[in-house]
């Protein structure tokens, strides 16, 4: 049994391919990890603000017209839908 030789070189074609892909990832315009993370952070805010905003307006209308929680639920749902649409547009815009 021979000891393992630690000086074995990898396939030069694989090394060139690996280095080329690293260089392409560094090119201007390529999406980085931090940019992708920022887009994910931008997705949650429209949904959260839409639902909270709809809830506050609905709560005000329910208190004014003494209608239980009818307006709160309706406007919260509308706020979530608008927030999801805005988040979808943000992702679609930054996807290219």
What are the extents of the domains in the chain? Answer: 46-96
> What is the reported pLDDT for 95?
67
Inform me whether the pLDDT recorded for 24 exceeds 80. Answer: no
Residue identified by tokens 């649409």 is: 85
Eight-state DSSP code of residue 7: T
pLDDT classification of 15: cutoffs 50, 70, 90: confident
Q: How far is CA 67 from the centre of its chain?
A: 37
Each residue's pLDDT tens digit, 37-96 = 787 788 899 999 999 999 999 999 999 999 999 999 999 999 999 999 999 998 888 765
> What is the reported pLDDT for 14?
85
Closest CA to 77 of 47, 51, 52, 57: 51
């Amino acid at each position: 049994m021979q000891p393992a030789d630690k000086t074995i070189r990898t396939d030069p074609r694989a090394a060139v391919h690996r280095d080329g892909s690293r260089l392409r990832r560094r090119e201007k315009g390529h999406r980085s990890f931090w940019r992708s993370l920022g887009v994910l952070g931008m997705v949650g805010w429209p949904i959260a603000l839409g639902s909270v905003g709809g809830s506050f307006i609905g709560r005000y209308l329910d208190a004014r017209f003494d209608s239980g929680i009818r307006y709160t639920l309706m406007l919260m749902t509308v706020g979530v839908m608008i927030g999801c649409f805005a988040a979808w547009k943000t992702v679609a815009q930054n996807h290219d």
